[in-house]
Structure 1
Amino acid sequence: MPYLQVNGAKIYYEVSGSGPAVVFTHGHSMNHKQWHPQIEALAENYQTITWDVRGHGHSTLPPGEVNPRDFSKDLNALLNHLQIRNAVLCGLSMGGHISIQTAAYYPEKVKGLILIGTPFTNRFNWFEKYGAPFSKLSLRILPYSWTKELTASILSKFNPSNKSYVRESFSQINKADFLRHWSGNLKMESTHLLDHITCPTLILHGDQDKMVARQQSLLKSAIKGSEFKTISNADHLTNLDNPTEVTEVIHSFLISHHSSD
């Protein structure tokens, strides 16, 4: 299996197809398999890269406090390792947030962004400010099996097959690493970075996704020239809830903006 050793972690990745590069980054507690429907459809015309964020899937998580700045450093190192001059970055939830930070910190490496159900802060309003500490406490107290089953049920409302995938991805993380990574994830903050994004950006949001809905209008207005599209019959795991529509919209964006290097 292909790995990259970087910043104290072993990062697992997969490459399929050839052509302009598109890097897909999964959400928290998921893994690279989240993007299977998109890779299957797009690898014929694009070099598609999926990877496991440190602490997820086959990637390792070094001991100690998790620094969220390492997420974008890892992605930049992966691009360098694969000798990719620049790429379109596509991410969901945490993966979208990592993509935002990569575009802000390494703008020369990012020629486009596709952000799906993406938050840019965990302190947007009182809900986040008080909800984040509560989530850390409750997740620490609850049995990890409860967290896994509850998440799997919530994320499989529109696509029942999501349940087995979520269970599998959760099972690749132990509770201690999950809590450490969740704490690092909650520290991610990009409000001050949004006006640094200058590449073409597509924002997708599931019509039933309440988790990040309140941030989407500000995300669109803050990233100048960004496009916004609502995905029908989809919750937070948008690309798996409605894979056909998401893939079509991604493909259209790639053709319009990034058909060639």
Structure 2
Amino acid sequence: MKWAVIIRRGDVEIAVTDRGGDGPVVVLLHGLAGSSRELLPTADALADSFRTVLIDQRGHGNSTRRPADVSREAFVGDVVAVLEEVVPGERVRLVGQSMGAHTAMLTAAARPDLVDRLVMLEGNAGGDERPDGARKIGKYFASWPVPFANQAAARSYLGDGVLAVAWVNDLERTPGGLRPRFDADVMEATIAAVQADRWAEWEGLAVPTLAVFAENGMFTEAQKDELIRRRPGTRRADIAGASHDAHLDAFDRWIEVLRGYLNE
């Protein structure tokens, strides 16, 4: 079974893709300025043992592009609505990368009845004390010279890194050219909410959890250690040589770590 569906929640539409597969349900959440497209290889690598479901979070992909509410609670509510409608009565294995890991963690904290176990790839709960962090991210996305005439033009501007390739592959065709499936100001507001401290939810989390970090990722060793220190029962795995986007540039090792934990 493979299908896509729109879940309507108030004035927001959430795009969901079910890749099928046999076994327990794994739900995948992408990071900021991404979409479920970049996690399709992960979903398909798990399809022999799991049913995989992917969500375009609000403001991203094929979901509502400019939602009025980009609070963390709104993102969690979307995931809960999807789980209750698409896989009613089942506890899922919830997997997220970066912002998606943060959404997944808060969902598991709020609704442990819906989550069997949690995997966070390059996620944390300590927030970001840099006052201009979100503004810089918004400014970067706003600087893109869109629309791009074609993929070659997009690659010329964005570069050939794994994340840039994912962005190029996810560009939307419009009459004027290729555009990202997100808006810069929405991304800025979204990440500003993620940057708040959520240690209370993390320390109270009752769901078994694997925290996966990349050697060359976003977080310092002190930040990684702090996450585990505050919740000692958390399992930790590290992916050597990988970037923050380890699901893209260290795919085989990511799948090895992920499958190992999900199959326990």
Q: TM-score range by the shorter chain?
A: 0.7 to 0.9
The within-5 A match list for 1:94-173 is: 94-123=99-128, 128-135=129-136, 138-139=139-140, 142-143=143-144, 145=146, 152-153=158-159, 156=161, 159=162, 162-169=163-170, 171-173=179-181
Q: Residue 143 and residue 165 in structure 1: after superposition, are their counterparts in 2 closer, same or farther (change >3 A)?
A: closer
- Map of 2:187 onto structure 1: 181
- State the shift of 1:207 in Å: 0.8
**Large movers: runs of 4+ above 6 Å:** 148-151
- Map of 2:33 onto structure 1: 29
2:20 matches 1:20: no
TM-score for both structures, normalised by structure 1? 0.83
CA contact (8 A) 1:21 1:84 kept: no
Amino acid at match of 2:110: Y
CA contact (8 A) 1:122 1:132 kept: no
- Map of 1:40 onto structure 2: 44
Amino acid at match of 1:169: D
- State the shift of 1:139 in Å: 3.5
TM-score for both structures, normalised by structure 2? 0.82
The within-5 A match list for 1:3-82 is: 3-15=6-18, 16-82=20-86
**SS in structure 1 opposite 2:54?**
strand
Gaps of 5+ in 1: 257-261
- State the shift of 1:50 in Å: 0.7
**SS in structure 2 opposite 1:130?**
coil
CA contact (8 A) 2:65 2:181 kept: no
Structure 1 vs Structure 2 CA RMSD: 2.5
**SS in structure 1 opposite 2:130?**
helix
Q: Residue 50 and residue 152 in structure 1: after superposition, are their counterparts in 2 closer, same or farther (change >3 A)?
A: farther
Q: Residue 131 and residue 151 in structure 1: after superposition, are their counterparts in 2 closer, same or farther (change >3 A)?
A: farther
CA distance in 1, matches of 2:165, 2:229: 37
How many residues are paired up?
Answer: 243
Percent of pairs identical after alignment? Answer: 23
- State the shift of 1:90 in Å: 0.6
CA contact (8 A) 1:42 1:251 kept: yes
- State the shift of 1:107 in Å: 1.2
CA contact (8 A) 1:152 1:163 kept: yes
Q: Residue 144 and residue 173 in structure 1: after superposition, are their counterparts in 2 closer, same or farther (change >3 A)?
A: farther
- Map of 1:259 onto structure 2: none
- State the shift of 1:101 in Å: 0.4
2:217 matches 1:216: no
CA contact (8 A) 2:70 2:189 kept: yes
Q: Residue 8 and residue 131 in structure 1: after superposition, are their counterparts in 2 closer, same or farther (change >3 A)?
A: same
1:50-85: per-residue Cα shift (whole Å, max 9, x none)?
A: 110011111113453522211111001100011152
CA distance in 2, matches of 1:45, 1:140: 38
CA distance in 2, matches of 1:75, 1:29: 17
- Answer 1 or 2: which has greater helix percent: 1
- Answer 1 or 2: which has greater strand percent: 2
**SS in structure 2 opposite 1:107?**
coil
CA distance in 1, matches of 2:75, 2:157: 23
Amino acid at match of 2:15: Y
CA contact (8 A) 2:31 2:100 kept: yes
2:251 matches 1:250: no
